[in-house]
Chain A
Amino acid sequence: MKDLEQYLRDNKPVVKDDPTFILKTRNRLEAVEGIKAEVDRQYTRGRRALVIALVAGLVVGVAVTAIAFLYPVSPDSVAKGILDSLCLFLQSYKQFLLLPVALLAIALGLVLTNKPSKSFI
């Protein structure tokens, strides 16, 4: 067994000298940095959108509540006014409702997919 141990110690694999190894590593790490920066950017963008949506929701909610309290409207007048005409409109054109919804979805999809992104590569 001693012979084998000596044999193994005497025959350590020899690594070829490769001066480009560290250079390759550095390049890969640069790429990783780029990916990390892009992920951070996306994360920040998502958080900002979330905060904006939250603030906008709060502002609109507060404004609507304030208006509702400051300018109360009798339910009868609403029922006979805007809501009635809106319901009548929707009922009359319900067969065409799908078209604008689909167009809107397609437009939204196109806008989102064609949004130019600053690539780090």
Chain B
Amino acid sequence: MNQERFISLVKAEQEPLRRFLLGLCCGDDALADDIAQDALVRAYVASSNFLGLSKFSTWLFRIAYNCYIDHCRKPGKDYADLESREALNVASDDASDARFRYQQLYQALEKIPEKEKAAIVLFYFEDKSIKEISSILQMPVGTVKYQLNQGRGHLKQYIRL
């Protein structure tokens, strides 16, 4: 795959990819974009291995998720204050209740396990099917359903509706 072809595919996928990572990073858009850039470089280097057996977006999301996991495993991972991160992400003139809504969501996402968070983000924010999530997270379909169920249960404890 040449660079122009790769860039054209990335242009179509950049927003969902960045949103996926933004959800995983609980609102830290700078970190999400950094991980997205790393993932794109990794994907480009490995693009000769992409055989087209799955959708490009599925393949790209899987690489991005692996990059995110690598980032989480790095020693000394330090998240900035959630409130300040959230404030950066939401436009400054947004209503305070919208800000509170995002803050509550990100705080809740931060409290649940990574796999549950990934399943929730992919299913509800990216509208991916269970099969696609199974392929991205490299886990069986039944496990994805279990993670979603667990994730919903955990989120319900932290989100006031």
Binding site for B on A (CB under 8 A): 1, 3-5, 7-9, 11-16, 18, 21-22, 24-26, 28-30, 32-33, 36
Contacts and interface: CB of A to CB of B under 8 A. Distances in A.
Contact of B152 (A4, A22, A30): A4
Contacts, number: 73
A32 B44 contact: yes
Interface residues of B, number: 33
Contacts of A8: 105, 120, 124-125, 155
B156 A1 contact: yes
Contacts of A22: 7, 10-11, 14
A33 B37 contact: no
Contact of B161 (A7, A9, A12): A7
Contacts of B27: 13
B95 interface: no
B3 A4 contact: no
B102 interface: yes
Contacts of B70: none
A1 B23 CA distance: 20
B41 interface: yes
A4 B159 contact: yes
A11 B161 contact: no
9 contacts: A4-B152, A4-B156, A22-B10, A25-B7, A25-B10, A26-B3, A29-B44, A30-B3, A33-B3
Contacts of B15: 15
Interface in B10-50: 10-11, 14-15, 18-19, 22-23, 27, 29, 33, 36-37, 40-41, 44-45
Nearest to B88: A16
A112 to B, nearest CB: 29
Interface string B82-107: 00000001100000000001100100
Q: Which of A13, A15, A16, A30 has its CB near the most chain B CB atoms (within 10 A)?
A: A13
A32 B46 CA distance: 11
B7 A29 contact: yes
Contacts of A14: 19, 89-90
Contacts of A9: 124
B6 A29 contact: yes
Given A4-B155, A11-B105, A15-B19, A32 B45 contact: yes
A18 B44 CA distance: 21
Contacts of A3: 161
